[in-house]
Structure 1
Amino acid sequence: MQKQIKRFKLRSISAMVASFLIAQAAWAVDPFTVRDIRVEGLQRVEPGTIFASLPFRVGETYNDDKGSSAIRALFGLGLFKDVRLEVSGDVLVVIVEERPTVADVDFVGTKEFDKEVLKKALRDIGLADGRPFDKALADRAEQELKRQYVNRSLYGAEVLTTVTPIERNRVNVTFSVIEGDIAKIKEIRVVGNKAFSESTLRGLFDLNTGSWLSWYTKSNQYSRVKLNADIETLRSYYLTRGYLEFKVDSTQVAISPNKQDISVTLNITEGERFTVSGVKLEGNFLEREEEFKSLVTIKPGDAYNADLVAQTVKAFTEYYGSFGFAFAKVDAKPEIDRVNNRVAFVLQGDPSRRAYVRRINIGGNNRTRDEVVRREFRQFEASWYDGDKIRLSRDRVDRLGYFTEVNIDTQEVPGTPDQVDLNLAVVEKPTGNLQLGAGFSSAEKLSFIFGFKQENAFGTGNYLGLEVNTGKFNRQFVLSTVDPYFTNDGISRTFDIYSRTSRPYDSQGGDYALKTTGGSVRFGVPFSEVDTVYFGVGLEQIDISGAVLPQVYRDYIRTFGAKSNTVPLTVGWSRDDRDSALVPSKGTFQRAYGDWGIAGDARFLRANYQVQKYIPLNKQFTIALNGEVGWGKGLNGQPFPVFKNSYSGGLGSVRGFEPGTLGPRDAQGNAIGGPKKITLNAEILAPFPGAGNDRTLRLFGFVDTGNVFGENDKYSLGDLRSSVGIGISWISPLGPLRLAIANPLSKKPTDRIQRLQFQIGTSF
């Protein structure tokens, strides 16, 4: 096979030399008028391709210069390995030998990549089935393959290209790969540091020398992208701690001769630590100097902080924009006193000129209707440019959840210096999903989940969803539809149809179930840009069934019957500014809701409020706090309906106790829950040992306190249960997984303890 490849190379080189010599001979002719042009040697190339490339036509004069131009043009097509021009009287004969075409591209020995991924990478550089074969192209393909392996830290990968000629002037191209082992980082060094220890600086990096969990985090596999990110993290660490003149002098990445071990060395110069001596404003600040000064976050006497400087410049620019100055410039000029290691900043402001927004252009929304995007805008056409409203508009469009990217670009209108166009560019993402999943918990065992959601049905911005859960203790069927702009003012309308069957966690006293069937309509009224209040009304039917019922349910049936109806009014409010719904590290989530049974058999009031707060201590550690309080009361002399009770115990409330077993019990000792509830949780989230800065796998310690109380009971701190423990949080393919080991601190002899608890599909 290797001999065939060598012969193939020699024939190609010989053909090139021969074509050059023959072309030289073809040039040495006297000019003549071309009566006809013939083409010989074509197999797959159309004759028209040849004629279109020739610098002359029938009836025109042929000379040496045109002959040389013709040969260069035909070779430039990349379709031929040999081109000759021959003259027979006044007939010009073009003789070509086509390059072979690629019949098939195959890979042998590739385990790290899917073959289709590799074929696509080679197709992008021009090597694919049906295209002309070029040895230079094959060399490029070989280098591209090696580059792909280097990106995966497989520096020892070897690629051998085999070209096999087959019938009809075609070739098969095979890349044989010996992948080798992944190169691992054996050493990371920071040289030149004085203020901070090398271990402290290395702790900032996502790259490391490996641990027992490196198979999961891959943190010891070198990546140039990751290294650049770590360098920026290092630079930010110094620049936010006073080191104004910090710089990374060089980055050295060395690989061992066997291409298995990598050493990374960063040479840095810290410079001196500077403190801020003062801040002054110069330029035109629209006679609002005091307002601009209130935006300054740089404080004299503090260490220099590049982040605060950038925040101040951004705040100034945005404040200029709120008055219509779209082209404002703000420069933070440092005045460095190296003798005393102090720096003063001069904030130079130039508002430039005020501008109107002429037109708002929307692009990239191939599926989503324009009106769905435009109704989120708070900046209007033909109005003054307002930076605050533009940013708010961009955020509102982004919060729709229909796009992966939302960018607004300000473009000057040519010839009109006081007008700008806003160009909103979006990249759509699939907004519908079909969910098939399973959950497993220590309480419910195995459950299956089916869901269909379309958040942007037919590009209208409306929501359509179906959810089915087959859990042992909680089964549900829910059909929902939401029109976010039921009115032009942004009032939303939601319809829900549902059937929920709930079995208490503790059913030792009998096999019974509470089935709730009904529907509701709810309207969401925006009271501000971030607050929405919900109002709604529903109709519910409660069906209590079972052969052996606890006394509390027999009492309810004697009062209302096995089947009862109620008409609840609902009101709710929520706000969520967390940086992530799955792995939050900062921000607050709040929600409140209330039910009022105004008609039907059961009359009651119920209210609930929950708040979660995430406080970042640093890049790796986060404090998470959760508080929830619930209250309920029966009306018109009726007891609070038992099917509206809250439960406590287990994951999501007080860990270390069996799920739903805290609070009041009936005569048989079954937990029946209660309308009053208190839950307090505190967690500190830390990196899992060996996982580095990976936030999808974390270790946490916690303290829980809480309980539920009967309708006629008072909230009592003395009756609260509490526990302490540790746990693991993992964002698994099936959803958030939490495993906790808890030790109850305050408990009663009748409490049911469960120290180890886990569940898939829950958070906090």
Structure 2
Amino acid sequence: MLAALASPTVKGADSFVVEDIQVRGLQRISAGTVFNYLPVNIGEKFTVQKAGPSIRALFKTGFFKDITLEREGGTLIVNVVERPSIAKIIFEGNKDLSTEDLQKALNSIGLAEGKVFNRLVLEKVEQELRRQYFSHGKYGLKIKTDVSRLTRNRVGIHIKISEGRVAKIKQINVVGNKVFDKDELLKQFELSTTNLLSFYTKDDQYSKQKLSADLERLRSYYLDRGYINFAIDSTQVAITPDKKEIYITVNVKEGELYTLEKVKLTGNLIVPPEELIGLVQVGPGEIFSRKNATQTSKAISDRLGDEGYAFANVNMVPEIDEEQKTVAMTFFVDPGKRVYVRRINMRGNTKTRDEVLRRELRQMESSWASTAKIERSKTRLERLGYFESVNVETPPVVGTADQIDVNYSVVEKASGNLMAGVGFSQTQGIVFNANISQDNVFGSGKRVNLAFNNSDITTQYRFGYFDPYFTLDGVSMGYDIGYSARDANQANISNYSTDVINSGFNFGIPLNEFDRLRFNIDLKHTKLNTSSFTSTEITNFVEDQGDKFLTLATSIGWTHDTLNRAIFPSAGGQQRLSALATIPGSDLEYYKVSYKQQQYFPLAKDLTFRLLGEVAYGDGYGDTDGLPFFEHYFAGGVRSVRGFNDNTIGPRDSNNRPFGGSSKIIGKAELFFPVPFIEDAKSIRLGSFFDAGTVSDGFEVSNLRYSVGLSGEWLSPFGALAVSVALPLNADENDDEQMFQFSFGSGF
């Protein structure tokens, strides 16, 4: 630059009028780019004082590594030497971090393919890569960078990486604790020393981010137990010279225990005070808990949000008495302005009609915004089953302080299927099926189904129609007609078969947001077929009742459903109570009653615990003595009590074949967790379970069968797959055990 300023072509004349500007030395960069940054225009007077700013302006672009200015008559000559561009960045040896992640990291510091190569930036590469690998606990990292010249002023960068072994945590110490022992405090940490599950959880690999989260959990542990002056004085992280082991020491100061003296609500409460008092989770005389205080603040804020105060603030104001070791807590309520919904917008529903989505909404336009109703509307859209994902945003209306728009965006999935396929079940064998279904006919939300299924057990033909909104109030209506032939012997049951022709009509009535009544009327003709191997119980039934039956049955069902999702729920529950009876005058007169409840408890982000219980009972009345045997209940199998063969638990007939019973009890406890090494697996899950169940003729609890094991469920593109490995705990000599079970091609 100094040479250019002192060159005779510029210095020879104090000033001149620029008649033309020429740029020499360009290869990739256009002359127009130079003119844009050059603070000199044709027709202006150019002086020596302008040379320095001109050169600095071009250097600031980062495109050039050398710039000189010359004068030829009235022409200003700009000589440049371009920096090379990066043609390719090649990583070698990276295993723990993907090439894509490393490219993103280097792009953040200005080193990426297509960008100008700057050696000053290259010097930051090793520092950035070390930062990335250190965060994954790899401190034995070695990096070598080679830069090779290519044609057309380009370079290739080759980065060789030797990751080394992950440094493992050898010891974690907590110093200064007196109230709680070290083991209790270390249970709050995600980080840990090496244990049997570390290969999966990787909890023995040090991470600065994880340690920060653990220290915050430790702080919360003390604050939730009344130690409001708790402090972490220092944290030391030491690594051994071979960079394979890490020692962590946390120095703490516990402070004194504080209790609550009084709790007060103040501000503009909006709703009746007694309602808010019921939301307060802290009280005088209790040990101070920041967790309970925060939950109280959130509960009050959510309650105000239901009244339209979407931006309400509930501030916790503690008054600490250091002498008495007490806290006076005041919750100051500032509701702000009531917020109204201007518009509700639907986006992404290219096939489904707007009305199908809007009839699921609980938040209305031009009414005040309720956070609970907005979220409930989202849940109802997700439960339709028409969409892969549903998202909601509530942007404020520009120019107003009390209005928002509610924008629901959906990603539609195929709701119609034309399928012909093959499934397999250990009980049913090979299952051939053809199915034409449309859950959302012409985007109307109506469902039409035409199905054919053929297996070793059942041959079935069925046509069905269902309208979930037969009326605007949500009354549903549907009907179906079908034929099925069933060989019970192939299903591990007594030796007989049935041919059934049926038609039915149903409608449902919503009682409230979560409860629904359903009514069914079914006309069924049953033909019973026996053989020379049929048991005496069945032959006696045929002699007494015949082998052809025409029945008209009515049923009523009640459902209470708070599940957050229809497939693989993680929270909420479901209760079902149903009762069925054939009308007097039918060829067979009987009734059946059942109740089923399941509840999901989210234990952590990826852990869900489920409890399920089911009881059922049936009997005959009038001229029918007992529940007809082909209406019996059965238990055992991958969908029931796992570890026992399908339908084999319970009473047996004179041929020692499973005969079922008039009552059933099923219980399940299951812990669901994600599949290791698979991220965002929404259609697959694993579980550990405890099953119990029995079938009898009178709720004989002493005959309960138990099993424990592991399960897996996958909603694959080809159908639902369920597998289990179970160990029966109290099987007797007559039970048919089956440790490994699976079923493919049917719903969960």
TM-score, length of structure 2 as denominator length: 0.78
For residues 298 and 442 of structure 2, the distance between their equivalents in structure 1, rounded to whole angstroms, comes to 39
Deviations 1:106-133 (A, max 9, x none): 2222233444554455456554444433
Matched, 1:648 2:635: yes
Deviations 1:628-678 (A, max 9, x none): 112335688568565543211355545665442123333322113234322
Deviates more, 1:261-270 or 1:565-574: 565-574
Deviations 1:342-397 (A, max 9, x none): 322223334444x3515135487586876565444433333345555445445545
The correspondence for 2:3, drawn from 21, 31, 44, is 21
* 1:183 positional shift: 2.0
For residues 272 and 553 of structure 2, the distance between their equivalents in structure 1, rounded to whole angstroms, comes to 53
Matched, 1:744 2:730: yes
Deviates more, 1:111-120 or 1:328-337: 111-120
Does the 8 A contact of 1:84 with 1:95 survive in 2?
yes
Matched with 1:359 is: 342
The correspondence for 1:187, drawn from 144, 154, 171, is 171
Deviates more, 1:238-247 or 1:84-93: 238-247
* Pairing 1:156-235 to 2, within 5 Å after superposition: 156-235=140-219
> Match for 2:694: what amino acid?
G
Does the 8 A contact of 2:452 with 2:461 survive in 1?
yes
* Pairing 1:123-162 to 2, within 5 Å after superposition: 126-162=110-146
Matched with 1:704 is: 692
For residues 591 and 80 of structure 2, the distance between their equivalents in structure 1, rounded to whole angstroms, comes to 91
Aligned-partner SS, 1:253 = strand
For residues 70 and 167 of structure 2, the distance between their equivalents in structure 1, rounded to whole angstroms, comes to 58
Matched with 2:46 is: 62
> Match for 1:22: what amino acid?
A
Matched, 1:674 2:674: no
Matched with 2:574 is: 589
Matched, 1:727 2:712: no
For residues 489 and 218 of structure 2, the distance between their equivalents in structure 1, rounded to whole angstroms, comes to 51
Aligned-partner SS, 2:704 = strand
Aligned-partner SS, 1:233 = helix
Does the 8 A contact of 1:698 with 1:729 survive in 2?
yes
Matched with 2:255 is: 271
> Match for 2:704: what amino acid?
S
Judging changes above 3 Å, is the alpha-carbon distance between structure 1 residues 472 and 576 closer, same or farther for their aligned structure 2 residues?
farther
Judging changes above 3 Å, is the alpha-carbon distance between structure 1 residues 122 and 439 closer, same or farther for their aligned structure 2 residues?
farther
Aligned-partner SS, 1:744 = coil
Matched with 1:663 is: 650
Aligned-partner SS, 2:87 = strand
Does the 8 A contact of 2:346 with 2:354 survive in 1?
no
Judging changes above 3 Å, is the alpha-carbon distance between structure 1 residues 144 and 480 closer, same or farther for their aligned structure 2 residues?
farther
Deviations 1:262-281 (A, max 9, x none): 22333333222222232233
> Match for 2:661: what amino acid?
G
Deviations 1:250-273 (A, max 9, x none): 443333332222223333332222
Aligned-partner SS, 2:243 = coil
> Match for 1:299: what amino acid?
G
For residues 153 and 505 of structure 1, the distance between their equivalents in structure 2, rounded to whole angstroms, comes to 60
Deviates more, 1:534-543 or 1:73-82: 534-543
For residues 344 and 263 of structure 2, the distance between their equivalents in structure 1, rounded to whole angstroms, comes to 40
Judging changes above 3 Å, is the alpha-carbon distance between structure 1 residues 506 and 222 closer, same or farther for their aligned structure 2 residues?
farther
Does the 8 A contact of 2:516 with 2:558 survive in 1?
yes
> Match for 2:194: what amino acid?
G
Deviates more, 1:304-313 or 1:419-428: 419-428
Matched, 1:313 2:300: no
* 1:92 positional shift: 1.7
* 1:729 positional shift: 5.3
Matched with 2:362 is: 378
Aligned-partner SS, 2:283 = coil
Matched, 1:240 2:224: yes
Does the 8 A contact of 1:679 with 1:706 survive in 2?
yes
> Match for 1:213: what amino acid?
L
Deviates more, 1:291-300 or 1:462-471: 462-471
* 1:610 positional shift: 0.9
For residues 228 and 172 of structure 1, the distance between their equivalents in structure 2, rounded to whole angstroms, comes to 39
Matched with 2:396 is: 411
For residues 648 and 637 of structure 2, the distance between their equivalents in structure 1, rounded to whole angstroms, comes to 8
Deviations 1:541-592 (A, max 9, x none): 8788898764477788999999988776665444454688899887543233
Matched with 2:737 is: 754
For residues 448 and 178 of structure 1, the distance between their equivalents in structure 2, rounded to whole angstroms, comes to 54
Aligned-partner SS, 1:411 = coil
Judging changes above 3 Å, is the alpha-carbon distance between structure 1 residues 149 and 325 closer, same or farther for their aligned structure 2 residues?
closer
* 1:228 positional shift: 3.7
Matched with 1:7 is: none
Judging changes above 3 Å, is the alpha-carbon distance between structure 1 residues 365 and 651 closer, same or farther for their aligned structure 2 residues?
closer
Deviates more, 1:480-489 or 1:221-230: 480-489
Matched with 2:680 is: none
Judging changes above 3 Å, is the alpha-carbon distance between structure 1 residues 570 and 136 closer, same or farther for their aligned structure 2 residues?
farther
For residues 131 and 550 of structure 2, the distance between their equivalents in structure 1, rounded to whole angstroms, comes to 68
* Pairing 1:266-665 to 2, within 5 Å after superposition: 266-286=250-270, 288-353=272-337, 355=338, 357=340, 359-360=342-343, 362=345, 365=348, 374-386=358-370, 388-390=372-374, 392-393=376-377, 395-396=379-380, 402=387, 406=391, 408-409=393-394, 411=396, 414=399, 419-424=402-407, 428=411, 487-491=471-475, 523-535=507-519, 550-551=534-535, 571-577=556-562, 588-594=573-579, 605-613=591-599, 625-633=611-619, 637=623, 642-650=629-637, 653-654=640-641, 657-665=644-652
Deviations 1:200-221 (A, max 9, x none): 2222333221222322222222
> Match for 1:626: what amino acid?
L
For residues 147 and 546 of structure 1, the distance between their equivalents in structure 2, rounded to whole angstroms, comes to 76
For residues 722 and 596 of structure 1, the distance between their equivalents in structure 2, rounded to whole angstroms, comes to 28
> Match for 2:396: what amino acid?
Q
Deviations 1:407-430 (A, max 9, x none): 55473764x55x322444758586
Judging changes above 3 Å, is the alpha-carbon distance between structure 1 residues 505 and 517 closer, same or farther for their aligned structure 2 residues?
same
How big is the alpha-carbon RMSD for the aligned residues of Structure 1 and Structure 2?
A: 5.1
The correspondence for 2:700, drawn from 707, 710, 717, is 717
Does the 8 A contact of 1:509 with 1:549 survive in 2?
no
Matched, 1:46 2:30: yes
Judging changes above 3 Å, is the alpha-carbon distance between structure 1 residues 425 and 476 closer, same or farther for their aligned structure 2 residues?
same
Matched with 2:681 is: none
Does the 8 A contact of 2:642 with 2:724 survive in 1?
no
* 1:226 positional shift: 3.3
The correspondence for 2:76, drawn from 92, 101, 112, is 92
Deviates more, 1:377-386 or 1:260-269: 377-386
Deviates more, 1:63-72 or 1:545-554: 545-554
- Number of matched pairs: 727
Deviations 1:234-257 (A, max 9, x none): 333333323333333444333333
* 1:88 positional shift: 0.7
For residues 593 and 632 of structure 1, the distance between their equivalents in structure 2, rounded to whole angstroms, comes to 12
> Match for 1:271: what amino acid?
G
Deviations 1:304-353 (A, max 9, x none): 22222122222333334444445544333223233333322223334444
Does the 8 A contact of 1:408 with 1:423 survive in 2?
yes
Aligned-partner SS, 1:663 = coil
Does the 8 A contact of 2:501 with 2:526 survive in 1?
yes
Aligned-partner SS, 1:70 = helix
